[in-house]
Amino acid sequence: MENSCKINMMSHTGEKRLTCTQCGKSFTRSSSLNKHKRIHTGEKPFTCNQCGKSFTRSSILNEHMLIHTGEKPYTCTQCGQSFRQSSTLNKHMMIHTGEKPHKCDQCSKTFLRISHLKIHLRVHTKEKPYSCSVCGKSFTQVSSFKNHEKIHTGVREYFCFQCKKTFKTTEDLKRHERIHTGEKPYKCSHCDKRFNELGDLKKHERIHTGEKPYTCSHCNKTFRELGHLKKHKRIHTGEKPYTCSHCDKRFSHLGNMKAHERIHTAVC
């Protein structure tokens, strides 16, 4: 009884007398300390009886079990989309509220998630930490890197239940499925226009903000879209990646090549 009273008082006062000998982190309850210690020991006492995967906490196991049952108990009141975790729902709700709590200290751009901010910072640092072992191409995002690797393997492991079309990534599958559902979960915070892809929303919002985050390293001209910057750079590099299928003439822009090819087809 005395120990429980002490623990109760510690929770009110904020006092933390129980300390982890590995990292020095302190806790008010021995149960919390014991759970924390599993980070250092690697112990995972809670095992899924469906797939054998183990977890450090029973709460994490319970969330994992929803993968097997298909249950999504947390539903968005704005658009009806459901989620397995309350934390995922909370993050999703920011799409509707327009809240972007994470701010770049370089250009003041704000982001929905801190992971998005970390990736954005590489625009300023020019860091590309993920390199393809086959062709050497580098990427700022691990997801882009993994998707790129599948170009070399040709693996298309995800398929649509509606039309059986196959895809290399879950992101590609999710985007495709919106063709069937008509879902457009991303709403512009400046107008009522909606989009089925987050990237399209970001591009659109720059029309309202006037933001041009992509800068030419040769002349400092800025652009709203990365694709526009890549096209512009060919003025400086002289690159002409598009070759006419009828002759050897090359072009810096796809549109110019297609217009040229019509000359051949018109003659035929």
Q: Using an 8 Å Cβ cutoff, are 209 and 198 in contact?
A: no
Residue 236: per-residue pLDDT: 92
Residue 16: per-residue pLDDT: 57
* % of residues, the chain, pLDDT over 70: 93
The Cα–Cα gap between 92 and 108 comes to 22
Per residue in 257-266, pLDDT tens?
889 989 888 7
Q: List all residues 6 or more positions away from 92 whose beta carbon is below 8 Å from its beta carbon.
A: 76, 81, 83
Per residue in 54-108, pLDDT tens?
888 888 888 887 777 778 888 888 888 888 888 888 888 877 877 888 889 888 8
The Cα–Cα gap between 36 and 114 comes to 24
Per residue in 125-155, pLDDT tens?
888 888 888 888 888 888 888 878 877 887 7
Strands (E), the chain: 18-19, 26-27, 46-47, 54-55, 74-75, 82-83, 102-103, 110-111, 130-131, 138-139, 158-159, 166-167, 186-187, 194-195, 214-215, 222-223, 242-243, 250-251
Whether pLDDT at 219 is above 90: yes
The model scores a pTM over 0.85: no
- The pair of three-digit structure tokens given for residue 170, joined into one six-digit string: 């879950």
Residue 5: per-residue pLDDT: 47
Q: Which helix (H) or strand (E) holds 35?
A: helix 30-41
Q: Using an 8 Å Cβ cutoff, are 172 and 159 in contact?
A: no
Q: Using an 8 Å Cβ cutoff, are 167 and 159 in contact?
A: yes
As a whole number, the mean pLDDT across the chain is 83
Residue 191: per-residue pLDDT: 92
The Cα–Cα gap between 88 and 93 comes to 9
CA distances from 216 to 104, 180, 239 (A): 20, 39, 15
In angstroms, the first-to-last Cα distance of the chain is 96
Cα atoms in the Cβ-side hemisphere of radius 13 Å centred on 126: 3
